[in-house]
Each structure stands twice: as C-alpha cells, then as structure tokens.
Amino acid sequence: MHPSPTETPLLLDVTGLKKHFPIKKGVLRRVVGHVRAVDGMDFYLRDGETLGVVGESGCGKTTAGRCVIGLLEPTDGQVRFRMNGEMRDTTVLPFRERKQFSRHVQMIFQDPFSSLSPRMNVRAIVTEPLKVHRIGTPQERTERAADVLATVKLDRRVMERYPNEFSGGQRQRIAVARSLVFNPELIICDEAVSALDVSVQAQVINLLIDLRAELDLTYLFIAHDLSVVEHISHRVLVMYLGKAVETAGKRDIFQTPKHPYTAALLSAIPAADPQRERSRIHLEGSVPDPSQPPPGCSFHPRCEYAETRCREIEPMLEPVDGESDRWVACHRAAELTLEGYSRERR
Amino acid sequence: MNDNSKRLLDVQGLKTYFQTEQGTVRAVDDMSFWVAPGRTLGIVGESGCGKSITALSIMHMVPQPRGRIVGGSITYYGREEGPVEITALKPHGPAMRELRGRHMAMIFQEPMTSLTPVYTIGQQIMEAVVHHEGLDKQAGKERAVAMLEKVGISAPRQRVDEYPYQLSGGMRQRAMIAMALSCSPQLLLADEPTTALDVTIQAQIIDLLLDLQQDLGMAIILITHDLGVIGEMAERVLVMYMGKVVEFGSADAVFYRAKHPYTVGLLASIPQIGEDKRLVSIEGSVPSPYNLPRGCYFHTRCPHVMPRCREDEPPSFAVGEGHEAKCWLFAEKEGEVHAPVSN
C-alpha cells in the first residue's frame, strides 16, 4: 500500500521553508517583530503518497500548506515541485509556468460553508477554475464538471442548485469535485474533514482514499485529529512552533515515537474505548509565543526530559539511525524510549 | 446504577419545540432519563440532534420566544427543601436564579463568547458568589483566587485581575470552569467543553473535570459529538438522533455491545488507530427537521430497515441489563421498556 520509498520519484521537495509575518505597531506601522509561523521546515512527498501534517493550533501547519500552493510567499526556502519531469522551484517560476503549476496543485479547505460562494450554482463553482484558465468552451466545461461530480458520486442534476441546498458532507464533495477539474497531481487538504459530523466525515475520508487510488493523487493532509491522520496517511509529520519535530511512517510514529512532543500528543488522544489503559503525559504550560520562541529546542520549557543542551542548542531534524524515511529533531532521541499509542485494555 | 433510589435530576417525557417560519422543529422530543448524584452521563449525537437544547431545557434557558418546553417534567432533587419542578418555574424568576449557578451550572464550547470581554476574570467569577452566598467583594475575590487555583491556573492572584483576551484558549476554558464551580453546584452541564481546544489541552481539561468531580462530588452531564471524549469520561451514555434517545446504557455496553444501527454506524465511522480497514459510514445525511420521515426517524439511513420501520415509531426495548435501544430489530427478542433510563 505504501509507495516504495526509493523507487518512487519525488513530487514535492520543500527545504528550509520559512514564513514570518511582520508585527506592526504604532501610527507609523513600524515593524516591531515577526511571528515565525513556519521557521525552517524540510519535507518531501513521493508520487501517490499521503503525508499527514499534525500539530496544535498555531503550529504553522496551515501556513506551510499555503506556502506550498503559493497562496503565501515564503520568507525563505525552496518549494520544489516536479513539472514535466523536472524539479522546479515554484517560488521563482515565470508567470506562464506558475499558471501551469497552479493546475497541478489544488487545495480543499476546512469549512465548505465558506469555501463555496453562496451566489454561484454548482456548475459555476466547479467550472470557474477552467474559466479562469480559459480552458474549453462552456459546453466542454459543463461536461467536465459533470465528470468530476460523477467522480465524487454526485448526480449532474445538482449543477443547477446552490450551496445552501446541500448538507455539509455534500458541500465538501462539491469542493473536492472543484479541486479535481484540472486532474491535479497534488491536493492539499487543510482540515478537510474536521468540520463534518462523524458519520459524514467517514464518507468523505473514504471518498478521498478512493480518489487517491483511482486518480493517482498525492495528498498533503493537514489536520489536528490524529486518528483521522493515522487512518489516511502513509507518513506523518509532527509540527511544533513552526518546525517539524518528527517525521516517519505512520506505524513508526504511532508505535515508537522518538520525540517527547509526539509521545505527549499520542497520550492525549481521547479513545472511544472506555476500558483502554491510559497513561497520560501532562504537558506543563502552553505553546510559547511564536514571535519569541525560546532558545535551544522550542519544546524544552514543556519537556520532561530537557537538559542543559536542550536549553541552549537547537536540535536539527536528523535521520534516526538505521531507519530510512525517519527523522527526528531531539538531542536525546537516541537514548529515550518513549511510549507509543496503546490499545491495551485495563 | 447500584443505588437506583438516589436521584439528582429526573427528566420525564421532555419536549422542547421551536416555532419557525418553516414550521415546528421538535428539537427534543419525548426524552426521559435521570442522573444520580456524583455520576457522569454522556449525551452524544451529531449536530442538530437536540443535545444542546436538552441541556438548555434543564437550565431553563431555551432561547425565547421561539423555543418553548411544551411537555414533560424536569425535577431537581438536590435542594434540602425538597424536589423542585423546573418546568413550572419562570425562566427569569427568583427560584430559577437560585437554582442556576448555585445548584446547577453550565459550561460552554467557546469560552470567548461565554465570558464577557469588559469585566475581569475575577469580577465574573465573583458575580455568582456574591449573588448566591452574599459574600462581600473582598471575600468574593478571595474565592475567585481560590477557584482559579483549583482549576490549575498558575499565578491566580495576577490572573484574577486580567481580562479574558489576556488568557489562552485553555486558560479561558479553565476560567469558565472556575466560574461554573464557584458555588459548588451539584450538577454540571458541560456542553462540548473541549471541542474548541487542542488535543493536549483537551486532555488536561478532561482530567481536570474528572478530578474536580472526585473532589466536589458533583454530577456531570457531558454533551458532545466526540465519542472519544465520551469514552474518556462518561459512565453511562445516551445516544440521540433527531431529538430522541435511540440507545442508552453503561459506557461499556454502548461502546462494546452497541445495538441500535445508528450507534453501530457511529462507532464504525471513527477511525481506530492501528486498524487499516475501511471506515463504514452511515449512508445519506440527517433528514430535515421540517420534514421528518414517518416511523423510525433513522429508517432512511438504516441498513437493516424493515417495512414496519417505515410505518411505526419503535419504543425502547431492553437489550441487556440497564441497556436499551429504540429499534424494531429487538422487538421479538426482548420486552418493551417502560421504566425511565437511569444513571
């Protein structure tokens, strides 16, 4: 099921990604500091792979996704994407190729109530991207819309209806259909199922998994719900305060986490299993202010394993010995044995 | 469960309807349950199933003038003076005000909208104490500091004079819990208390509520769509669909021996960590509250639908000890349950 890591070509390769937002104060709107929303991130995606990005609110996961698709211009770093067989830095593409890139990468947002215009009918919503890119005649666009609606299991008759006539799950299907009109290679799902009720959420998760197989899609799946991420992803990246702290195949991450923050996240997952054995790691305090990240490891003020070097030297994301595709940013990763997610019952 | 004679709150045949331009919405339709002192009842269901309106009905805070309790009774047994019938009280009358805050309190999903931005945290916590216990301002503030400390807010003396915007999401939720618990209520209604929070903060708040329940011996009615949170906290679970109780039982019974097809579907819809099998979703979507199907409301989505389900609404059938499901599938096997569900 997991695409073989060595043979499958890279589709996306992000290196040193940074996005800092200026904080402006006073009548002169002078810049008094920066919110380091994303502060040095490296990750990659291979064809057909789903990378789940998890982290708590404000950790920069949405900002990272927006930098990848180009909705935000990175402060620093490279976002390289494979176009016509060649890895190209998308942050410096000429206009024409930039347009081509935007057809390869699409995004699905969290809230289908605000991501679909209430004044446009489904036909207009789904054909708009084609219109913007001046592809096809109106008839051809309508046919294409009917095709993608069929792909998400909606009847073509819905085209004359408006978003308010649909339930949350159906709206999210329309949003998925819109993202498919260009036959994209990469879809960024930013909390794409978080706003849905659980029974409907399962329908959309299944749809995304089916489409991945049918259309050879690659997903960057950004979400805060670890169970959903575990279900849909091949690999998982854990973010904390603008940085990737750990990335590995999902089995590895959930069974043998290497970073103390990952272990704390796993221990906090509420289980629909009343008799499950619980051993909760209590994190002290809250996430630091991203405009003034602490020195050294940004997790050290809340980490029970922190020692002197953690307070002084920032750990880099480094490969874990003997394991491919497994990276962690922790000075003590090698010596710590952390508990993974346990399904044991009392 | 063991001591069925002790009740704190008894809800019988509760009906709360809303009049809208499109027609009547039966937000809560003939619900019966009761809560024992110091125990936790979880109410779970998807958006629009009426779980929040159930809580607002108990607090007698149903949005006026459209919403109204049109039938049933809500009896509170926690007063020394004897039981009181909440539906008979005026929503804004002195008797109801005496109950709210002192005997029962509610915490909400979004602390920022439940705390007023123009008063300090301390002033908001004090309000209830000063009103109910007649403390002076100095003593009220001391109580506020003590409460903030109890809910695990560091530097409570400093925080007590801060405004809600100065606190983080998790701290605001703690402040709201402090406010709700300031008069040591016997019943806490927690409506999606952790939904807006991050997973690590959510875990802290769940543990806090469980600890405080141990300390103060209060009963909790936990309302959420999140089966995970229910699994962590509730002793008894009530599953709602379209304003009705479809299944009720101990947490173990509902999670491990679910009977109603809706509950079974809900449980199969949540991804389980470490299992790669395809999720089984419930087909279709929730019907419109203005145009409810005949018979069992769930029949339009039910994989086990029978002709009878399209015609007649099923009663609750016993499917185990203290476990019941409102579904015709269990009609032949077990007897009909008339007794109210209990906790």
pLDDT at site A346: 76
In a domain, B280, yes or no: yes
State the nearest Cα–Cα gap between B46 and chain A, in angstroms.
6
Structural contact between residues A279 and A342, judged by C-beta atoms closer than 8 angstroms: yes
Say what the ipTM of the complex is: 0.86
The set of residues, in sequence order, having a beta carbon less than 8 Å from that of A341 and lying 6+ positions away, is A254, A255, A266, A267, A269, B273, B274
Say which amino acid occupies A267. Answer: S
pLDDT at site B336: 57
Task: Give, in words, the CATH class of A10-233.
Answer: alpha beta
> Domain spans of chain A?
10-233, 258-346
| Location of structure tokens 């543990």 | B207
Residues shown for chain B: 343
Structure tokens at A98: 């930039």
Residues shown for chain A: 346
Q: What does the alpha-carbon distance between residue B151 and residue B154 come to, in Å, rounded to a whole number?
A: 9
Averaged pLDDT of chain A? 91
Mean per-residue pLDDT, B317-340: 78
Q: What is the number of structural domains in chain B?
A: 2
The yes-or-no verdict on residue B79 having pLDDT over 80 is: yes
Structural contact between residues A158 and A122, judged by C-beta atoms closer than 8 angstroms: yes
Mean per-residue pLDDT, A321-333: 87
Structural contact between residues A80 and A252, judged by C-beta atoms closer than 8 angstroms: no
Tell me if A167 and B286 make a contact (CB, 8 A cut-off): yes
pLDDT at site B334: 52
The yes-or-no verdict on residue A181 having pLDDT over 90 is: yes
Phi, psi of A313 (to 5 degrees): -110, 130
Structural contact between residues A333 and A253, judged by C-beta atoms closer than 8 angstroms: no
Distances (CA, A) of A323 to A247, A328, B189: 12, 11, 49
Residue A246 CA from chain centroid, whole number: 14
Q: What does the alpha-carbon distance between residue A116 and residue B124 come to, in Å, rounded to a whole number?
A: 39
- All residues of chain A having their beta carbon less than 8 Å from the beta carbon of residue B159 are none
pLDDT at site A260: 96
pLDDT at site B299: 95
Q: Which domain holds residue B307?
A: 255-330
pLDDT at site B200: 85
In a domain, B341, yes or no: no
DSSP code string of B190-216 = EESTTTTS-HHHHHHHHHHHHHHHHHH
Tell me if A224 and B199 make a contact (CB, 8 A cut-off): yes
Domain end (from B159, B184, B209): B184
What is the side-by-side order of every strand in the sheet holding B23-35? Answer: B23-35, B9-20, B67-76, B84-85
Tell me if B281 and A200 make a contact (CB, 8 A cut-off): yes
**DSSP classification of residue A148:** H
DSSP code string of B235-261 = SEEEEEETTEEEEEEEHHHHHHS--SH
The yes-or-no verdict on residue A11 having pLDDT over 80 is: yes
pLDDT at site A199: 84
Question: What number of C-beta contacts closer than 8 Å exist between A and B?
Answer: 123
- All residues of chain A having their beta carbon less than 8 Å from the beta carbon of residue B225 are 197-198
- All residues of chain B having their beta carbon less than 8 Å from the beta carbon of residue A343 are 272-274
Tell me if A226 and B206 make a contact (CB, 8 A cut-off): no
Which helix H or strand E contains B126, and what residues bound it?
helix B121-133
A35-48 pLDDT tens trace: 999 999 999 999 99
Tell me if B281 and A276 make a contact (CB, 8 A cut-off): no
Residue A224 has its nearest CB partner, among B198, B226, B286, at: B198
Within 13 Å and on the Cβ side, how many CA atoms surround B93? 9
Q: What does the alpha-carbon distance between residue B258 and residue B183 come to, in Å, rounded to a whole number?
A: 38
Q: Which of A279, A280, A245 is nearest to A262 (CA)?
A: A245
Which helix H or strand E contains A54, and what residues bound it?
strand A50-54
Structural contact between residues B18 and B72, judged by C-beta atoms closer than 8 angstroms: no
Looking at chain B, which residue has its C-alpha nearest residue A228? B271
pLDDT at site B122: 93
Residue A91 CA from chain centroid, whole number: 19
A212-230 pLDDT tens trace: 999 999 999 999 899 999 9
Confidence tier at B342 by pLDDT (50, 70, 90): very low
The yes-or-no verdict on residue A66 having pLDDT over 80 is: yes
Tell me if B232 and A226 make a contact (CB, 8 A cut-off): no
Structural contact between residues A212 and A52, judged by C-beta atoms closer than 8 angstroms: no
Structural contact between residues A105 and A182, judged by C-beta atoms closer than 8 angstroms: no
Q: What does the alpha-carbon distance between residue A42 and residue A280 come to, in Å, rounded to a whole number?
A: 30
Q: What does the alpha-carbon distance between residue B27 and residue B62 come to, in Å, rounded to a whole number?
A: 11
- All residues of chain B having their beta carbon less than 8 Å from the beta carbon of residue A273 are 231, 255
State the nearest Cα–Cα gap between B320 and chain A, in angstroms.
18
Residue B210 CA from chain centroid, whole number: 15
Structural contact between residues A8 and A49, judged by C-beta atoms closer than 8 angstroms: yes
Residue B343, helix vs strand vs coil: coil
To the nearest 10 degrees (0 to 180), the angle between helices A122-132 and A168-180 is 20
What pairing do the DSSP bridges indicate for beta strands B187-191 and B9-20?
Answer: unpaired
What pairing do the DSSP bridges indicate for beta strands B236-241 and B244-250?
Answer: antiparallel
Q: What does the alpha-carbon distance between residue B277 and residue B272 come to, in Å, rounded to a whole number?
A: 9
Q: Which of A29, A30, A88, A38 is nearest to A61 (CA)?
A: A38
In a domain, B87, yes or no: no
Full-model pTM:
0.89
Tell me if A276 and B231 make a contact (CB, 8 A cut-off): yes
HEC sequence for B258-313: CCCHHHHHHHHHCCCCCCCCCCCCCCCCCCCCCCCCCCCCCCCCCCCCCHHHHHCC
Mean per-residue pLDDT, B210-217: 91
- All residues of chain A having their beta carbon less than 8 Å from the beta carbon of residue B252 are 274-275
SS3 content of chain B, % helix, strand, coil (to 5): 35, 25, 45
Looking at chain B, which residue has its C-alpha nearest residue A203? B281
State the nearest Cα–Cα gap between A167 and chain B, in angstroms.
7
In a domain, B308, yes or no: yes
Q: For chain A, what percent of residues have pLDDT higher than 70?
A: 98
Residue A198 has its nearest CB partner, among B204, B207, B227, at: B227
Distances (CA, A) of B45 to A91, B42, B165, B268: 45, 10, 31, 14
Averaged pLDDT of chain B? 89
Confidence tier at A257 by pLDDT (50, 70, 90): very high
Structural contact between residues A252 and A266, judged by C-beta atoms closer than 8 angstroms: no
HEC sequence for B139-188: HHHHHHHHHHHHCCCCCHHHHCCCCHHHCCHHHHHHHHHHHHHCCCCCEE
Residue A199 has its nearest CB partner, among B198, B202, B282, at: B282
pLDDT at site B3: 46
B225-244 pLDDT tens trace: 999 999 999 999 999 999 99
Q: What does the alpha-carbon distance between residue B219 and residue B58 come to, in Å, rounded to a whole number?
A: 14
Tell me if A209 and B278 make a contact (CB, 8 A cut-off): yes
